């Protein structure tokens, strides 16, 4: 893992990443809803990464990490531990480029997630459902195969990849006053901060986070990295804690972290489904929940929202 601040992606890096990954991802649409705008007294522009390949923004970072590998690295493949959207994205991005992806998943992962990774050609290694087992299994896989670890967020190649979603949104909308992204490990939010800094410096960037997994809020307030311990939020994509690379970017560049209630997340998700007629997973509804629960911040503002993914299990919704 690179930790040298000099390797923080610069403006030209992000422009280069956009070109490099262009043929591997969708340029997703930006949608608005008159009803939601009226309801919340704001102009909301949703960057629909639920329509992205593999159903979430994660394919952007995964693709960038893979295209950044050298010839020897490509031959040995990539590896990660994840049971979420990063696992699916890495498997799909690797398959598209003809390289192997080893995915370490807990043996109790839902069948729907295991099958999605298999469908995308990922090579699954099961392990006991503890963080320790996941990390030791991943180390064993890497020792055995020589694969490159692709961390889901604590990696500048990933952060630069995720920043392209915000760069596209800022370019599409012109002069956004606010930009709002959900925050779990912080890859997407760090990317949003860099994109705004380089391409729309007057845009203020906020993170939106479940109060039940408020490590980013606590870290931002205290100025030091405070991890979450076993958070139970319904927003399953946001249970991870900030990393050593994402925390400083967020500390320096975020306007604030806004926390939201579990009821607010569900309500916002249902609003997106019923009013916009699109499928958002709970984590992707966290920014709209922040608009609902922090109305003063957004009143009358042109606000970009990264609608991060649509991988909800329709038959098992948390309603």
Residues binding a second copy (CB under 8 A):
29, 50-51, 55, 270, 273-274, 277-279, 310, 314-315, 317, 319
Q: How far is the CB of 284 from a second copy (least distance, A)?
A: 10
**CA-CA distance, 160 to 138, in Å (whole number)?**
24
Closest separation in Å from C-beta 31 to a second copy? 8
Half-sphere exposure of 282 (CA within 13 A, CB side): 25
Which is closer to a second copy, CB of 51 or CB of 220? 51
The CB-of-273 to a second copy minimum distance in angstroms stands at: 5
Cα–Cα separations (whole angstroms), residue 282 to 25, 125, 150, 271:
23, 27, 25, 12
State the nearest-atom distance from the C-beta of 144 to a second copy, in Å. 32
Q: Which is nearer to a second copy, 124 or 278 (CB)?
A: 278
Cα 111 to the chain's mean position, in Å?
Answer: 22
Q: DSSP letter string over 235-277? A: -GGG-SPP-TTHHHHHHHH-SEEEEE-HHHHHHHHHHIIIII-
Nearer to a second copy, 5 or 275 (CB): 275
CB 243 within 8 A of CB 186: yes
- In this structure, what token pair is assigned to residue 127? 């392990």
Q: Find the shortest distance in angstroms from Cβ 52 to a second copy.
A: 9
Q: Whose Cβ is closer to a second copy: residue 71's or residue 314's?
A: 314
Which of residues 12 and 274 has its CB atom nearest to a second copy in the complex?
274
Tell me which residue of 109, 97, 103 sits closest to 80, measured CA to CA.
Answer: 103
């Amino acid at each position: 893992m690179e930790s040298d601040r000099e390797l923080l992606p610069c403006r030209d890096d992000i422009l280069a990443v956009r070109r490099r990954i262009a043929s591997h991802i969708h340029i997703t649409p930006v949608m608005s809803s008159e009803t939601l705008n009226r309801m919340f007294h704001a102009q909301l522009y949703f960057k629909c990464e639920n329509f992205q390949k593999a159903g979430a923004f994660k394919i952007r970072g995964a693709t960038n990490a893979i295209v950044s590998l050298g010839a020897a690295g490509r031959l040995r493949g990539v590896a990660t531990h994840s049971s979420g959207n990063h696992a699916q994205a890495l498997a799909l991005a690797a398959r598209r480029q003809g390289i192997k992806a080893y995915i370490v998943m807990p043996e109790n992962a839902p069948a729907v997630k295991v099958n999605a990774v298999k469908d995308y050609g990922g090579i699954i290694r099961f392990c006991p459902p503890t963080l320790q087992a996941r990390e030791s299994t991943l180390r064993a896989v890497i020792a055995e195969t020589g694969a490159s670890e692709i961390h889901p967020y604590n990696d500048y190649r990933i952060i630069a990849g995720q920043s392209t979603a915000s760069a596209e949104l800022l370019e599409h909308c012109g002069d956004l006053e606010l930009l709002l992204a959900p925050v779990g490990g912080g890859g997407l939010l760090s990317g949003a901060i860099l994109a705004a800094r380089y391409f729309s410096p007057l845009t203020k960037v906020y993170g939106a986070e479940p109060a039940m997994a408020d490590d980013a809020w606590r870290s931002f307030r205290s100025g030091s990295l405070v991890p979450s311990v076993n958070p139970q939020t319904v927003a399953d994509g946001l249970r991870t804690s900030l990393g050593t690379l994402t925390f400083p970017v967020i500390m320096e560049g975020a306007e604030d972290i806004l926390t939201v209630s579990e009821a607010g997340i569900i309500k916002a998700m249902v609003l997106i489904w019923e009013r916009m007629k699109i499928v958002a997973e709970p984590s992707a509804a966290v920014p709209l929940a922040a608009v609902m629960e922090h109305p003063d911040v957004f009143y009358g503002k042109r606000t970009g929202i990264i609608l991060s993914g649509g991988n909800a299990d329709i038959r098992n919704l948390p309603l």
